[in-house]
Amino acid sequence: MAELSGTDQVVVVGAGLAGAQCALGLRRGGWQGRIVLVGEEPHAPYDRPPLSKDVLLGKADATTLDIDFPHLGVELLTGRRATGLTPGVLHTDGGDLPFGALVIATGAAPRALPGAERAHLLHTLDDALALRALLRPGLRLVLVGAGWIGAEVSTAARAAGCEVTVVEAGPAPVPGALPTEVGTAMAAWYAEAGVDLRCGVGVAAVESGSVLLADGAHLPADLVVVGIGARPATDWLAGSGVELDATGAVLVDEHLRTSLPGVLAAGDCISYPSARSGARLAVQHWDHALQSGEAAAASVLGADAPYDPVPYFWSEQFGRMVQYAGRHAEGDELLWRGSPQDPSWAVLWLRDGVPTALLAVDRPRDLTQGRRLIERGTALDPARAADPAVPLKSAAL
């Protein structure tokens, strides 16, 4: 059990999915002491993935998590921003909170584009509702960034009748996360949806009524949305003694403990050691928030199992379900399972014949089987694995 210092109060700072799951896990795991969940936003904890999907599409106005905090005896403090941390005390703009154990789950904040003060970001429920209210037929929308958020916002904007242009500085969609040849296979989806995708060019400035590109071109724009990734929301930890990496992520051990006794961390703001991947991982996806929040609670309660799941995420874009499991690295063998011209296809990454990652497009069975094979470290017959008619589990050696 995490060493308590003068109080049996556990404070969880960050009321997103990771923080909410941690509070839930503590109480379900038998924690009898006080639990305080602190959130910067005025809303009760809610789900973020639907913001760029159901909320933007008008299918939902709220995504509140189905957790009865009062019934659980969890004190929820909304509208409270963390401002600092000293031994045994979390400082907030609404007063100090002493703790015996603290779980940091403040997530990540979207990266802004320098010189783009007029641009919109999509991170909170209020952001999604405000953006939805602006989408209308004929609106000229410029999206900066062809990542997962860019594709999902493009999908919703086209459904609303907007004219959409997406600008990506990388050579293809989802640069960095996926190899160029895989991202290029997704570029056709933009054209099919009537989206003007421009890769290999950056944004020089966002001006009134237009976007100036680095190549000198001007794009007419009634609205600009920036989706170029996120960084850990950990500036408030400056001077606290909590060790951060160069990106600002909280460095935790395999039990999600930070460099300070009694202080743990979970969710989008952490970097954790993965024996499975042989590297530290920083994951900013729903499944990681869910699992790491539960794991942090277990660590507070004294569990000793290391945190090392197979990372997983999904994206709904242009009428397709895109799912990814694992973590590939440079040097892994890329194996196509079907063709991007097929209605559904997948890509495997192999290391010495063992799958390290899988991307599946409208192939949920591949995802389920592949995730299990990655978890078990099962070697595959490459020829059989490349045949989309062969179930992945049947390609195991």
Q: Residue 116's pLDDT is what?
A: 81
Q: Residue 6's pLDDT is what?
A: 47
Residues 6+ apart with CB under 8 A from 328: 349, 356, 357
- Contact, 99 vs 93, CB < 8 A? no
Cβ atoms < 10 Å from Cβ of 292: 29
The matching CATH number, chosen from 3.50.50.60, 3.30.465.10, 1.10.1040.10, 3.60.15.10, for 10-108+230-300 is 3.50.50.60
Torsion sign, CA atoms 58, 65, 71, 100:
negative
Nearest C-alpha neighbor of 229 from the set 169, 291, 171, 307: 169
DSSP state of 162: -
Residue whose token pair is 């059990």: 1
DSSP state of 391: -
Q: Residue 120's pLDDT is what?
A: 94
Instruction: Given CATH 3.90.1150.10, say whether it is the number of domain 112-226.
Output: no
**Tens of each residue's pLDDT in the chain, 397 residues:** 444 444 689 999 999 999 999 999 999 999 999 999 999 999 999 999 999 999 999 999 999 999 999 999 999 999 999 999 999 999 999 999 999 999 999 999 999 988 787 899 999 999 999 999 999 999 999 999 999 999 999 999 999 999 999 999 999 999 989 999 999 999 999 999 999 999 999 999 998 899 999 999 999 999 999 999 999 999 999 999 999 999 999 999 999 999 999 999 999 999 999 999 999 999 999 999 999 999 999 999 999 999 999 999 999 999 999 999 999 999 999 999 999 999 999 999 999 999 999 999 999 999 999 999 999 999 999 999 999 999 999 999 9
CA distances in angstroms from 152 to 183, 186, 286, 317, listed in the order given: 15, 13, 15, 5
Q: Which amino acid makes up residue 227?
A: G
- Report the topology of domain 320-395: Enolase-like; domain 1 (3.30.390)
Structure token pair of residue 165: 């242009």
Nearest C-alpha neighbor of 366 from the set 343, 391, 384: 391
Cβ atoms < 10 Å from Cβ of 164: 26
Q: Write down the domain spans for the chain.
A: 10-108+230-300, 112-226, 320-395
Pairing of strands 250-251, 230-232: unpaired
Examine domains 10-108+230-300 and 112-226 and report if their fold is the same. yes
Distance CA(379)–CA(104), nearest Å, equals 37
Q: Residue 313's pLDDT is what?
A: 95
* H or E element, residue 224: strand 223-226
Distance CA(364)–CA(280), nearest Å, equals 28
Pairing of strands 120-121, 108-110: unpaired
Distance CA(336)–CA(319), nearest Å, equals 21
Q: Residue 7's pLDDT is what?
A: 67
Distance CA(63)–CA(65), nearest Å, equals 6
- Contact, 291 vs 128, CB < 8 A? no
Q: Is 151 exposed, middle or buried (0-12, 13-18, 19+ CB in 10 A)?
A: buried
Q: Residue 8's pLDDT is what?
A: 86
Distance CA(244)–CA(232), nearest Å, equals 10
Q: Chain-centre distance of CA 377, in angstroms?
A: 25
